Structure 1
């Protein structure tokens, strides 16, 4: 933790404008509130120095309250899919096609090859009892080349691959040494569902990431074996297949979709209501199957050892997209504060996919496209990053370091902790500034009792423009925005008042949206999340 603090201080001394933090805690820090942890406090110091801070949301989704980045001074980024997909497939002799992953060439076109499982390809000196992990194909000396050569070798993908005890590259070496045509990795039924990154392979190969699909493969394989009734030995391997190949990209996907692992925003029933008053994530960006430069000597992943590029997935891949765009915004608007940069990114975000439909969120794995529902602000924040619009936001919502300090001082019992981390006394700040009162480009109210008025200050950074205001109220509330029509000269500010009234009690979050529509083409998007409680 001290290392992170030192780095933030050094970054401020070096005069950087943007910090990208592709890490996030794997659990909530203990203490008075999750805002008070060494990383967030160090990043608050960076914001005080005028540095815009981007942080990955974390890969702990899709359950509610899986977010670990709550602080309003940090710009938290979730992950989405994009329309470029590298897919691979295994076509079985019974006309069943199984999807898989693997940046690998395919087998010869229109040619089927015999399938043989590693456990059935042992030489005379090896038995399964000699090595319980023999099916992972890690040692060519234990197999019969006469049985494997010219065929597709089936290897088991177990949790040992996840732990790095067995590797895909070693299995490929085994297959090449035995003159196999290609390799098929079937998923162990005991491996917990997770997403595999497409692994580069120098020969035809495919990984079946679904345990159910792997079961279909093995059922076909086993049913095609001919076994001698007297000796109980296999006399013929009848299963055949071909590998489609995964080196060419497919651009036919509906995108973006919030991917299942992207951490989701705070549950309104959180025991720390101040956290639920801050909408997270702030935004989503491409994070699934992202190509990036890779050090050929890096040992972080043995599967990419020796490679110059790697394709990875995670919110850690999404955050740099936003950091890069933030740098462009800072270049165009050098005087923008960190909050202003975040406002430009948020208010211009897209709510629709490449087919003009509402952005969807994946709710489970592996049946990711069978379990979709419209993304809420707690899934995607303001929406999907829009690089072009973010450079011309029209209106801004700004906040200062003092605002964040007032917010922290408003948490009961926080005074000693604030003093410990910042060296400043809370009595110098207005300590009645709560989450909904921060001048954020979003509104979240975790405990709406009867009614509430929330205000936002907007500033016009474009030319003179007239705006119409539209809104959709969260379920169970009535909502009114005042004024609902206004004109602003360049540089002028205006206070928007949003009035909420409870019309129906509920324990679940409900969502709405406010849109400011300028006659010069600017559209400002403000997501709203409300939990209401009638006493």
Structure 2
């Protein structure tokens, strides 16, 4: 994302045993001492840390110290979605990134002899030209010494000694993809080795019906091959195959393999997908329900970025995935892939605006985010692990934060919402009983802060009111980092709420600061969040978007006695 950035790597976790928060804190402290500008953490707590409040955990407090030193801290939201409140980290000084898809896809297909096309995955070449090749199931190509009864997993094609080479040679070998592949007990790589040893022309994997809802990433294959991820499509393949077999009426032995197919291949990317959409695994808000802090009124995640099917650098000696051993790149998915996108863009923003605070960088990224997909429609969010593209609905701020990152817009935000270290300290000191914890972590006494603030009072580029009792006035301060510009203010109110913003129009000089007042009134109770948006539209082309999320707890009684 930032090709000329210097990358410093700090190792704190190990495959054999993981690691401890203290190791991560030590890495953060060392990076701060080394003078880094941006911290990228593709890690999140596996559960909410215990203690006085969610914010007071060692890693978050170490990142607060980094922010004090002017370092922009980016953290992956976690892969615990799609359930609401599935995030584990909510600190306002950390920029939390969720994962979205992009429009690049590697699709693979197999065309059967009955003209049925079945789609699948696999970074594999296709079969030679348009030649149709005979299909032969591994279970029908066993040697006389091997039976499915003696080896119940023989259909997974893990050992070439189990098969009759004369039968398989030059044909497409059909293998099963079972839960053992998911667990790493069987591998695509070994099945490919089997196919090569038998001189097969290619491999077709069908999905075992017991593997439900498992999402397959494209896997590199050195021979023509395809994995059919759908059990229903796999059934279509097997029905065609079995119906084309000819058997001896007396012995029932197969006399002819009548099914044929060709594999189109999946090495070439296409860009026809509707994108972005929030991935099912991306952790969701809203903000924490903390036993010591009812609701923090802080929007999480802050943003979503490309995190699905990302080409990632990979050590050819890496053993984390058997399928990618020997490769220099791997296609990976997760919020850990999304966070570095934002870290790189933050470096570009810091290069253009060296004086920007971490909060200013966060504001530039947030207020310019896109709200629409590449077809001009609403960004969708997947709602289920199984069949995620069927179970989806429009993304809310608790799914995608301010929206999908807009790299170009972030470098020219027009207005910024800025916050400083002392603002975060005032927020922490406003939590009941927090003084000893703040002193322990920061060495600062809350008594030195004359006033404290709530989460809603932080100058964030979003407004979240987790419990609206009748009405509330929220203030936000914007600073112009561009030329003089006149802005008009527009808004859409959340359901059951009326809002008003003052001023509705203002002229702001370069470097000038302006305070906006947002008046929120509840009209009806609601147990679920509703969403709106405030937009600032400049006459020089700058557009500033502010997501608004409200849960009404007590509305005005509008009944009047006459």
TM-score (normalised: structure 2): 0.91
Pick aligned residue for 1:77 from 73, 83, 97: 97
Provide the residue aligned with 2:24 in structure 1: 4
Provide the residue aligned with 2:549 in structure 1: 529
Please tell me whether residue 98 in structure 1 is matched to residue 103 in structure 2.
no
Q: Which string of whole-angstrom CA distances, capped at 9 and with x for unpartnered residues, describes residues 289-330 of structure 1?
A: 112322211222121111122221111111111111100100
Please tell me whether residue 277 in structure 1 is matched to residue 297 in structure 2.
yes
Please tell me whether residue 257 in structure 1 is matched to residue 281 in structure 2.
no
Deviation at 1:74, TM superposition (A): 0.8
CA contact (8 A) 2:53 2:290 kept: no
Provide the residue aligned with 2:151 in structure 1: 131
From the superposition, tell whether residues 412 and 227 of structure 1 become closer, same or farther in structure 2 (CA, over 3 Å).
Answer: farther
Provide the residue aligned with 1:326 in structure 2: 346
CA contact (8 A) 1:86 1:246 kept: yes
Deviation at 1:150, TM superposition (A): 1.6
From the superposition, tell whether residues 519 and 145 of structure 1 become closer, same or farther in structure 2 (CA, over 3 Å).
Answer: same
From the superposition, tell whether residues 178 and 336 of structure 1 become closer, same or farther in structure 2 (CA, over 3 Å).
Answer: same
Deviation at 1:114, TM superposition (A): 2.1
| Within-5 A mapping of 1:270-309 | 277-309=297-329
Q: How many residues align?
A: 535
Describe the SS at the equivalent of 1:102: coil
Describe the SS at the equivalent of 2:205: strand
CA contact (8 A) 1:104 1:201 kept: yes
Query: Where has structure 1 moved over 4 Å in runs of 4 or more?
Result: 227-230, 267-276
Provide the residue aligned with 2:456 in structure 1: 436
Find the aligned partners of 1:449 and 1:404 in 2 and give their Cα distance.
25
From the superposition, tell whether residues 23 and 211 of structure 1 become closer, same or farther in structure 2 (CA, over 3 Å).
Answer: farther
Find the aligned partners of 1:273 and 1:114 in 2 and give their Cα distance.
66
Please tell me whether residue 341 in structure 1 is matched to residue 361 in structure 2.
yes
When the two chains are superposed, the root-mean-square deviation of aligned CA atoms in Å is 1.9
Provide the residue aligned with 1:373 in structure 2: 393
Deviation at 1:198, TM superposition (A): 1.1
Provide the residue aligned with 1:350 in structure 2: 370
Provide the residue aligned with 2:161 in structure 1: 141
Find the aligned partners of 2:548 and 2:254 in 1 and give their Cα distance.
64
Deviation at 1:145, TM superposition (A): 0.8
Please tell me whether residue 166 in structure 1 is matched to residue 186 in structure 2.
yes
CA contact (8 A) 1:266 1:276 kept: no
Q: Which string of whole-angstrom CA distances, capped at 9 and with x for unpartnered residues, describes residues 152-184 of structure 1?
A: 112222222223222111110000101111111
CA contact (8 A) 1:407 1:431 kept: no
Find the aligned partners of 1:290 and 1:522 in 2 and give their Cα distance.
31
CA contact (8 A) 2:52 2:292 kept: no
CA contact (8 A) 1:350 1:386 kept: yes
Find the aligned partners of 2:434 and 2:293 in 1 and give their Cα distance.
14
Any gaps of 5 or more consecutive residues in structure 2? 1-20, 556-562
- Higher mean alpha-carbon deviation, 293-302 vs 409-418, is at 409-418
Find the aligned partners of 1:401 and 1:157 in 2 and give their Cα distance.
53
Find the aligned partners of 2:171 and 2:385 in 1 and give their Cα distance.
32
Pick aligned residue for 2:57 from 31, 37, 43: 37
CA contact (8 A) 1:274 1:434 kept: no
Pick aligned residue for 1:518 from 534, 538, 547: 538
